[in-house]
Structure 1
Amino acid sequence: MTEALNQIRQFYKPQTVQIIFITEAVQPGKRFFYLKNSNVFRAVKEAFSQVFGEFKNDEEFLAFFKENGCYVD
């Protein structure tokens, strides 16, 4: 993983991780959960939207994800 992607991952890491999703490696073409461009991101966001309601945008979803102690590694 590149240093830039690791920094992005650390930015979204909650202080206390309540739920960790072990889901993916960086895919070819730089698809990555925290870049908001992977199938895993879309699927997790959709599942959370069904339970918690729609999010205004991807950033609102990631903020909610982090605030609730969720983290993808």
Structure 2
Amino acid sequence: MFTDFIFAKLVLKSGEKLTLAVGLYNMIVNNFARPEFTMFTAGSVLVAIPITTLFIVLQRYIVEGLTTGADKG
């Protein structure tokens, strides 16, 4: 969510406590002369890999839970 980004950007000022989204954003903004879009993309992919893996592993349980509550009758 974008509000999570805005809140973290406004509240967190310390470099070691920044969220990943704010850190990736700062990487692009701070290098305005030559932004590192390849590093930004690589960071985004590295963030997406564990989330996607977790979804694939737990997908059957999500579908099973959704269909369990659907009672026809």
Q: What TM-score do the two structures reach when normalised by structure 1?
A: 0.30
More helix per residue: 1 or 2?
2
More strand by share: 1
Higher relative contact order (CA 8 A, sep 6+): 1
TM-score, structure 2 as length reference? 0.30
- Whose radius of gyration is greater, 1 or 2? 2
